[in-house]
């Protein structure tokens, strides 16, 4: 599963792109609301629990120069976002969709809430705010179990399903797990409901690429259990790098190795799924030039 222990300190990351990303996230939520935000009624307590903790405790403690709790007549009522000059209610709105919208425009992380499935077997996606999906439509994943969400992922059933189900069941409150995922895409588009993967039956398309427009897309993923609702929260931050940046950082050979690795080992289907048959040779030739 390629997972490592993470730290609560790194659950939410801030960087110099914060304001630009927040603006973009708000535009995407406005233009594609049905694809980026959804919540079943059953997820309301999990959404409220995370909202209350993030705005009331985490952000003003972890990033006190960006976020401050504000009192009115001696009662702490708002979180003040200094960068955007917004006051956000510390008590979550009545409708969880509104809470998710606030979360989506507050930090540059996407959030997916999973609850134990009704039949007691595994976990099911019940709410999300996902402005930057890596080539999938999150709405189509709502109410699916983890194993059905991952149906298009090659070798998932035989290599990942059992260990992931076990791992998710055992996940303890206070533990933070992290992993990374990567893709190569033709441009810097962050809201991508399709196009970063090939699925069974797809033909390998011919595409023209421009090295300066292509991006290495890296997702820094976290998973942790909320203490009260016991929901699992899957969150990720998306980073984009140009290929010249990778080369200048001295990482060209590492990326070539990762691309070659998609064909080798016990999961060769990833070469097709990640579209490496389309861009692989072109990118490798550049990295080695
Ligand atoms: C230990 C935890 C997890 C592991 C090891 C894992 C593994 C993977 C892998 C290997 C892929 C293929 C990615 C690629 O090569 O581009 C993938 C895709 C994906 N994962 Fe996970 N995943 C985990 C947790 C989750 C969770 C909690 C969700 C929440 C909903 C999730 C949602 C997805 C989605 C939507 C895709 C794209 C599937 C598609 O092509 O439609 N994953 N995952």
What is the tens place of the pLDDT at every residue in 219-262? Answer: 999 999 999 999 999 999 999 999 999 999 999 999 999 999 99
Alpha carbon separation from 263 to 29, 243, 258, 276 (Å, rounded): 37, 21, 10, 9
- Could you tell me the two tokens for 18? 């914060």
Mind listing the pLDDT tens digit for each residue in 49-79?
999 999 999 999 999 999 999 887 777 789 9
Identify the pLDDT of residue 201.
87
Contacts made by residues 148-155, CB under 8 angstroms, sequence distance 24+: 149/125, 152/197, 152/199, 152/200, 152/273, 153/273, 154/267, 154/269, 154/270, 154/272, 154/273, 155/266, 155/267, 155/269, 155/270
Q: Which two tokens stand for residue 288?
A: 């080695």
Angstrom distance (rounded) from CA 149 to CA 6: 24
Considering only CA atoms, which residue is closest to atom 12 of ligand 1? 153
Give the per-residue pLDDT at 48.
98
1 in ligand 1 pocket by Cβ < 6 Å?
A: yes
Cα of 260 vs centre of ligand 1, distance in Å, is 21
- Ligand 1 centroid to Cα of residue 90, in Å, is 31
pLDDT of residue 73: 78
Low-confidence ranges of the chain (pLDDT < 50): none
Query: How many separate domains does the chain show?
Result: 1
Ligand 1 pocket member 152 (CB < 6 A): yes
Nearest residue by C-alpha to atom 10 in ligand 1: 153
Which phi and psi angles does 5 have, rounded to 5°? -70, 135
Compute CA distances 9 → 51, 59, 222, whole Å: 17, 10, 12
Q: Can you give the pTM of this predicted structure?
A: 0.96
- Structural domain boundaries, residue 39: 4-288
Q: How far is the CA of 103 from the centre of ligand 1 (A)?
A: 22
Pocket test for ligand 1, best of 1, 141, 153, 220 (most atoms within 8 A of CB): 153
164 lines ligand 1 (CB under 6 A): yes
Gap from CA of 12 to ligand 1 centroid (Å) = 19
Give the per-residue pLDDT at 74: 77
CA of 156 to the centre of ligand 1 (A): 9
What's the gap in Å between 134 CA and the centre of ligand 1? 10
Of 113, 93, 111, the closest CA to residue 25 belongs to 111
Q: Quick one: which atom of ligand 1 is closest to the CA of 160?
A: 5
136, 149, 177, 273: residue to mutate for ligand 1 pocket, most atoms within 8 A of CB: 149
C-alpha–C-alpha distance, residues 139 and 30, integer Å: 16
Atom of ligand 1 nearest to the CA of 150: 38
pLDDT, position 245: 97
């Amino acid at each position: 599963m390629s997972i490592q222990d993470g730290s609560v300190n790194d659950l939410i990351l801030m960087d110099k792109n914060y304001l630009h990303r927040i603006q973009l996230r708000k535009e995407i939520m406005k233009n594609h609301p049905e694809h980026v935000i959804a919540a079943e009624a059953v997820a309301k307590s999990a959404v409220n629990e995370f909202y209350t903790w993030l705005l009331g405790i985490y952000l003003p403690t972890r990033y006190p120069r960006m976020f401050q709790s504000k009192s009115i007549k001696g009662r702490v009522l708002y979180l003040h976002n200094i960068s955007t000059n917004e006051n956000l209610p510390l008590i979550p709105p009545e409708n969880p969709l509104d809470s998710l919208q606030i979360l989506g425009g507050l930090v540059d992380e996407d959030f997916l809430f999973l609850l134990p499935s009704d039949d007691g077997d595994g976990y099911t996606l019940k709410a999300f705010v996902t402005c930057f999906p890596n080539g999938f439509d999150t709405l189509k994943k709502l109410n699916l179990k983890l194993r059905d969400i991952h149906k298009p992922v090659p070798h998932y059933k035989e290599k990942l399903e059992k260990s992931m189900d076990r791992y998710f069941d055992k996940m303890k409150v206070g533990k933070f797990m992290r992993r990374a995922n990567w893709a190569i895409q033709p441009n810097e588009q962050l809201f991508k409901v399709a196009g970063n993967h090939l699925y069974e039956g797809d033909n390998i398309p011919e595409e023209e690429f421009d090295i300066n427009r292509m991006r290495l897309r890296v997702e820094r993923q976290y998973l942790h259990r909320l203490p009260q609702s016991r929901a699992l929260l899957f969150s990720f931050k998306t980073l984009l790098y140009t290929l010249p940046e990778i080369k200048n950082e001295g990482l060209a050979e590492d990326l070539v190795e990762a691309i070659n690795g998609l064909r080798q080992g016990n999961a060769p289907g990833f070469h097709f799924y990640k579209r490496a048959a389309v861009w692989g040779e072109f990118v490798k030739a550049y990295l080695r030039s």
